[in-house]
Amino acid sequence: MIIVGLAFGFLLGFIGYLPPGNINLTVVQMSVSSARSKWRLFILFAALMEFIYCFGCLYGMDRLIHQPQLILFLNWAAVLVFLLLGVSFILVGNKADSSKNSSTSIKKGILVAIFNPLQVPFWLIWGVYVFQNHLVTSYAASIALFSFICSLGTITILWFYAAMGKRLVEKMNINHVVLNRFIGSLLILLAVFQTIKLLQA
């Protein structure tokens, strides 16, 4: 059962970033415009944040479920961050200095990885599943191991995006300006979607 739980954790970490989103598209953008060492570090940082979100949500699941005000605050804070980052990506996309754009996109990518409101409900939902099916125990060591395996799944899929995304961008001849504008528009749409969702709750 432990092997099954770890394999399932890797799968969750992998599929969590499989659909095109703010994190993996940022990795694609960085793989095109930044040095290899920079986007590698960003992938490791994103995986670290995945570990923190996974461990924090699973370990504090009871408290999080009974503190909806905290989740609501985090969601509204993320809306603001995504909106500001989206506008900033679009504005940076109009500039020609690629070296500055590269440095700026790294900083923005870090903020996007930190303020990711989708991770809290994601891990609360899957947390119930893994606990009910005894894939993870309530002990901190078990949750930490599960979270670590999840972060390995995250590294794998983001590495794939960095490798394949760069080739795709080069084949489609997409320049940095278009990519920045696309990521910015996606972040703004995510902020709008999150706002609508919060207002309807």
| Dist CA 135 CA 142 (whole Å) | 9
Copy the structure tokens of residue 50. Answer: 């995945």
Given a contact cutoff of 8 angstroms between Cβ atoms, the answer to whether 165 and 23 are in contact is no
User: Looking at residue 98, what is its pLDDT?
Assistant: 47
Query: What pTM value is reported for the model?
Result: 0.71
User: Looking at residue 195, what is its pLDDT?
Assistant: 86
The distance in angstroms from the start CA to the end CA of the chain is 37
CA-closest candidate to residue 189, choices 108, 105, 90: 90
Mean predicted lDDT score pLDDT of the chain: 79
pLDDT tens by residue, 10-52: 999 998 887 777 788 788 878 877 778 888 889 999 999 999 9
- Residue 173: DSSP 8-state: T
Torsion on CA atoms 152, 130, 18, 51, rounded to nearest 10: -40
Copy the structure tokens of residue 104. Answer: 């700026």
pLDDT tens by residue, 100-112: 455 556 777 788 7
Where is pLDDT greater, at 83 or 62?
A: 83
